[in-house]
Amino acid sequence: MQRSLIRRGAEADIFAVDWHGKKAVSKIRLPKQYRHPDLDLAVRRQRTVHEASLMSAAKAAGVVTPFMYFVDPLNCEILMEFVGGPNARDVLTAGLCKKMGSYSAMLHAKNIIHGDLTTSNFVVSNQLVLLDFGLSYYSQRIEDVAVDVRLIKEAFTSAHVSLKDSFESFLAGYLEVAGEKQTARVVEKVREIEQRGRYARVV
């Protein structure tokens, strides 16, 4: 299979490939020289299967993710649909922010923490698509949920300052799925985490 490198990441490389006449994406976790070979292979295989499982769970929760064609644990590879369209960070609107909030609440309702919830990991195709579950994991801790939300809040307030009320739009979408009580708990925990950060900088 001919591969063309799209992006080299810290944990995996992303390639454009042809899959039976369709443009597809191959995500391959390459060996790390600093780990023992046997441990390295076990880690890469486990993370590949874990990521594929979380993508499927996210889709079952109602979040649009790339369709997976093939998972190859032996070669630590996930072959998935190529999603065309602009990155959400480049075309951000209040409506997209609200949809991101809905997606986030859908994940959190199933105890899925995305782990890298930024506007860079959303693509606007025929619909909003959430990418990259390489850092995702399961957790019921409100702290982990809040860290997810705080990450995208930071993206809104730093990279998207020109779009007013972006985080408020995100919370409106979150509220529609999670309800008032859970949303209030998450927002309060986000504030708590932010205060800790401010205190640490002062000290």
Exposed, middle or buried by CB within 10 Å (0-12, 13-18, 19+), for 29? buried
Contacts of 3 (CB under 8 A, 6+ apart): 15, 16, 17, 26
- Active site members: 116
Q: pLDDT, tens digit, for every residue of 43-75?
A: 999 999 999 999 999 999 999 999 999 999 999
Q: What pLDDT band is residue 174 in, cutting at 50, 70 and 90?
A: very high
Cα 160 from Cα 72, distance rounded (Å): 38
* Predicted structure pTM score: 0.90
| Mean of per-residue pLDDT scores for the chain | 92
Which DSSP symbol is given to 129? E
Share of the chain above pLDDT 90, in %: 78
List, in order of start, the domains of the chain with CATH numbers.
3-81 (3.30.200.20), 88-202 (1.10.510.10)
Mean pLDDT over 110-125 rounds to 95
For the stretch 83-117, pLDDT in tens is 999 999 999 999 999 999 999 999 999 999 999 99
